[in-house]
Amino acid sequence: MEHLMERSDQLGLTVIRRALPPGIRGEYWHEKKLIVLSVSLTGRQEKSTFAHELGHAHYGHCVPGACRGDRNRQELQANDYAAKLLIAPGDYAAAEKIYGTHTESIAYHLGVTPAIVRAWRSLWKRRLSAQFSSPRHSDVVRVESFALPGGQNRNHAERAN
Ligand SMILES: [Zn+2]
């Protein structure tokens, strides 16, 4: 959490914990430079949500409807940012050596949510396929289906997994 707080300070953000509606893990309010984290998160959920909201702050994402932008693209950017912030490639490789491709076990080992592990794989899969055109390389990282957080009404509200 320390490097996340440092990043948050660098971005000039305030971070508070507050009761949020069921299923909502966190929010980012761009005009207030404010990250809200739900009080009912586990340690892994809080770290993962915090990193995701930092991604929204880093890219300056604002309230859907109040500014233009593709919401799915913003969620993808925030997930990529969180995955990069929380999982070093060497740590992922070491975890996969122990646990194979079992997402839950890797997530537990790395102290993040399974969604972050899936986001990390998705990110690297895209990077690798951009880097290598040969189909031999397309199965380097196994990618599972990955649902972006839903919710149209709330401001970058993160839902369970
Ligand atoms: Zn989000």
CB 34 within 8 A of CB 12: no
How many A from CA of 14 to the centre of ligand 1?
17
What digits encode the pLDDT tens for the residues 102-128? 999 999 999 999 999 999 999 999 998
How many A from CA of 136 to the centre of ligand 1?
33
How many A from CA of 93 to the centre of ligand 1?
26
Is residue 18 one of the residues assigned to a domain?
yes
Is residue 157 one of the residues assigned to a domain?
no
How many A from CA of 95 to the centre of ligand 1?
26
- Residue 20: CATH number of its domain: 3.30.2010
How many A from CA of 2 to the centre of ligand 1?
21
Spans in the chain with pLDDT lower than 70:
63-69, 133-161
Residue 136's pLDDT is 54
Is residue 76 one of the residues assigned to a domain?
yes
Residue 3's pLDDT is 92
What digits encode the pLDDT tens for the residues 92-104? 999 999 999 999 9
Is residue 10 one of the residues assigned to a domain?
yes
Structure tokens at 142: 């196994």
Tally of domains within the chain: 1
How many A from CA of 98 to the centre of ligand 1?
31
Residue 144's pLDDT is 45
Is residue 29 one of the residues assigned to a domain?
yes
Which range of residues forms the domain containing residue 122? 2-139
DSSP type of residue 67: B
